[in-house]
Amino acid sequence: MNAAELRDQVEEALRTVKDPEIPVNIYDLGLVYEVKIEDGNKVRVTMTLTAPACPAAGDIIFEVQSKLEAIEGVVDAYVLLTFDPPWTRDMMSEEAKLELGFL
């Protein structure tokens, strides 16, 4: 599997993880800042949460990690949590904004 195919699968997996407080997946919410596919099919995801004190933070990170590791061909998965820059509604996809009635 090449890096582009693996990236597609990673993005697809990230779209299955929902924020428990907002019924939209973390990818369309704009919580995923970066996806890197490194040599040897190592996946690095840099992401944030809607708020630093998010009570579901551990659950979300665990779910992301688990779903990345479950992708065939992924040798290693690492999730880096950051709050720089802080998340805002402007980072959401048009689909997410529509779904939540922000448009």
Average pLDDT over residues 77-87: 96
Closest by CA to 83, choosing from 58, 33, 55, 48, is: 48
32-41, pLDDT tens digit by residue? Answer: 999 999 988 9
Res 103 pLDDT > 80? no
Res 49 pLDDT > 90? yes
Give all domains of the chain, ordered by start, each with its CATH number: 3-98 (3.30.300.130)
What pLDDT, on a 0 to 100 scale, did the predictor assign at position 54?
A: 85
Rounded to whole angstroms, how far apart are CA atoms 47 and 45? 6
Residue 4 identity (one-letter amino acid): A
Contact, 27 vs 67, CB < 8 A? no
Contact, 26 vs 60, CB < 8 A? yes
Q: What is the 3-state secondary structure (H, E, C) of 47-58?
A: ECCCCCCCCCHH
Q: Is the pTM of this model over 0.75?
A: yes
Q: Where are the alpha helices (DSSP H) in 70-103?
A: 94-100
Contact, 47 vs 81, CB < 8 A? yes
